[in-house]
Amino acid sequence: MSNRLWDKKHNTFREAIKEIRNDRNLKQVELAKKLKKPQSFVSKYETGERKLDFVELSEICKVCDVSIEEFVKLYNSKL
């Protein structure tokens, strides 16, 4: 299993998480505000500079009104 940020699974994860933001017509700064984080937090995980943990992912899904199950389905459909 690769631990590089640019492998297919990590790229797919970042694409899926960016897609849920875009589907809600949220800019990075708007999502960051909802998360009570700086805009750079969103930018860094979308570009792969930073990895997310499960709790952070669940908070992003929550503010985007997407269940974890829906996110997993989206991720799997992109693989």
Identify the CATH number of the domain in which residue 20 sits: 1.10.260.40
* Assigned domain for 23 exists: yes
* Assigned domain for 68 exists: yes
Q: Which two tokens stand for residue 33?
A: 């505000």
**What whole-number distance in Å separates Cα of residue 79 and Cα of residue 68?**
17
* Assigned domain for 12 exists: yes
Domain that residue 53 falls in: 8-78
Please give the pLDDT value at position 1. 47
**What whole-number distance in Å separates Cα of residue 70 and Cα of residue 56?**
16
Q: How many domains would you assign to the chain?
A: 1
Please give the pLDDT value at position 6. 66
* Assigned domain for 14 exists: yes
User: In this predicted model, what pLDDT tens digit does every residue of 14-54 receive, in sequence order?
Assistant: 999 999 999 999 999 999 999 999 999 999 999 999 999 99
**What whole-number distance in Å separates Cα of residue 7 and Cα of residue 29?**
27
Q: Which two tokens stand for residue 47?
A: 């570009």
**What whole-number distance in Å separates Cα of residue 76 and Cα of residue 79?**
5
* Assigned domain for 51 exists: yes
Place of tokens 């459909």: 77
Please give the pLDDT value at position 29. 98
* Assigned domain for 2 exists: no
